[in-house]
Structure 1
Amino acid sequence: MKDIFFCPEESNFYSNCLDTFVLNNCRNSDSIVEFGSGDGSPMINSLLKNKFDAVIHGFELNTLAWKLANSKIDEYNLAHKYKISNSCLFNSSQPKAEYLVANPPYLPAPDPDIYMPLLFGGVDGATVTNNLLSLGYKNVLVLVSSFSNPTSTIKIAAKNHYFVHNFMVLPLKFGHYSSEPKVKKCIDSLRQKKMAFYSENHYFLAGVLFRNSQESTINLSNELAQVMTSL
């Protein structure tokens, strides 16, 4: 469906990050909040492989995606574990949880008038991601794009006492959404300002687990910055 985000490679990567950094490490007493659940596929795929038995509270603004997600949740009998609201996390009471997870919108553009407006991540692509790091959740798993001012995200994280606890990186080709002329022009402009990093056909997408702690024994922030700016 063209009105619902569709990129199997990215969705599978997000699901893998959920498995590796969150669900495999959660206790059953831990709850999870998800920003932008989409059609629910990444989280559902992870839940079907995992013994996680607490509750995930998802938020999704796209009504079509929300309806599709709930039909899949019912199909797999996961309604007791995965509950998605057709609303925005930022405008909610922001339920308490050990983890906040998201594949947030990260397309840079001068305004939201793009092929899929809900993928608009602000003029540098990092606005929504950076705002998620201001909500105070102890652990935040987000996907970070190398063409969406990744260094600003690392700096905002540090300002809010988040450290990079772990990450993994996927090289991706520019796809349908990121190749839209209006978006690509903005990405090219960011590159000239050293705010976007990519090769001719590829960029990096990193799944990053940020942990909020005054003192962290693990801090991979410098390593992440080096990887994301290496293209």
Structure 2
Amino acid sequence: MKDIFFCPEESNFYSNCLENFALRNCKKSECIVEFGSGDGSPVINSLLRNRFDGVIHGFELNTSAWKAANSTIDEYNLSHKYIIHNSCLFESSQIEGEYLVANPPYIPAPDRDIYMPLLFGGIDGATVTNELLSLGYENVVLLISSFSNPKSTIEYAKAHGYCVNSFLVLPLRFGYYSSEAKVKKHIEELRKHKIAFSSDDYYFLAGVLFKKRQEESVVDLSNELAQVMTSLVN
């Protein structure tokens, strides 16, 4: 369905990041909050592969995706572990949780008139990502694109008391949404200004665990992440 985000490679990567950075670290009945659940498949696949005794509260504005997700949740009897709200996290009463997780909208464009407007990440692609880092959750797992001003996100995270605790990187070929002529042209302009980093065909997608700084001795991989995310250029 064209009105529901579909990219199996990206969804599988998001699922792996959820498992490595969140689910496997949860030792008790903890709560995870998810922004932008889509059709729910990444979380559902992760729950089916892992023992997790807590609850994941997802938020999804796309009603078609929300209905599809709930249908699959019911099919696998996961309604006690995965609850998706058909509303916006930013406009809802904040749910307390040990983790905030998201594959946020990161498509940069001059405006939201693109193939799927809900994927619009602002002029530089980092707007929604940075807003999520302002919510104050102790642990935040995000997917970050190298063509969506990754340097600004790393700096924004630092300014809000986060360090990069762990990250994984996946090279991705430009897909259906990022190859739209309007979007690709805009990314080219961002590349000229060293805001976007990619080759003509590929970009990097990083799954990142941001943790609030508890002590100065904590490992911070911010510089390493910045180096990787800005390394892909022609």
TM over 0.5: yes
Superposed displacement of residue 190, structure 1: 0.5
**Retained in 2: the 8 A contact 1:161–1:214?**
no
Identity of aligned residues (%): 74
What does 1:129-148 correspond to in 2, within 5 Å? 129-148=129-148
TM-score using structure 2 length: 0.98
**Paired residue for 2:228?**
227
Structure 1: any 5+ residue segments left out of the alignment? none
Q: C-alpha offsets along residues 100-140 of structure 1, whole Å, 9 cap, x if unaligned?
A: 00000000011111000000000000000000000000000
TM-score using structure 1 length: 0.99
Q: C-alpha offsets along residues 64-96 of structure 1, whole Å, 9 cap, x if unaligned?
A: 000000000000000000000000000000100
Superposed displacement of residue 42, structure 1: 0.1
**Paired residue for 2:83?**
83
**Retained in 1: the 8 A contact 2:108–2:125?**
yes
**Paired residue for 1:201?**
201
**Retained in 2: the 8 A contact 1:32–1:98?**
yes
SS at 2:39 equivalent:
coil
- CA distance in structure 2 between the aligned counterparts of 1:215 and 1:105, rounded to whole angstroms: 31
Superposed displacement of residue 29, structure 1: 2.7
**Retained in 1: the 8 A contact 2:167–2:209?**
yes
**Paired residue for 1:69?**
69
- CA distance in structure 2 between the aligned counterparts of 1:218 and 1:205, rounded to whole angstroms: 22
The AA in structure 1 aligned to 2:106 is Y
The AA in structure 2 aligned to 1:222 is N
Superposed displacement of residue 214, structure 1: 4.4
Moved over 4 A (4+): none
Structure 2: any 5+ residue segments left out of the alignment? none
Q: CA RMSD in A?
A: 0.7
Superposed displacement of residue 181, structure 1: 0.8
Superposed displacement of residue 215, structure 1: 2.3
**Retained in 1: the 8 A contact 2:30–2:53?**
no
210-219 or 98-107, larger mean C-alpha shift: 210-219
The AA in structure 1 aligned to 2:108 is P
What does 1:74-223 correspond to in 2, within 5 Å? 74-216=74-216, 217-223=218-224
SS at 2:209 equivalent:
strand
Superposed displacement of residue 28, structure 1: 2.2
Q: C-alpha offsets along residues 186-219 of structure 1, whole Å, 9 cap, x if unaligned?
A: 1111001100001121000000000012425110
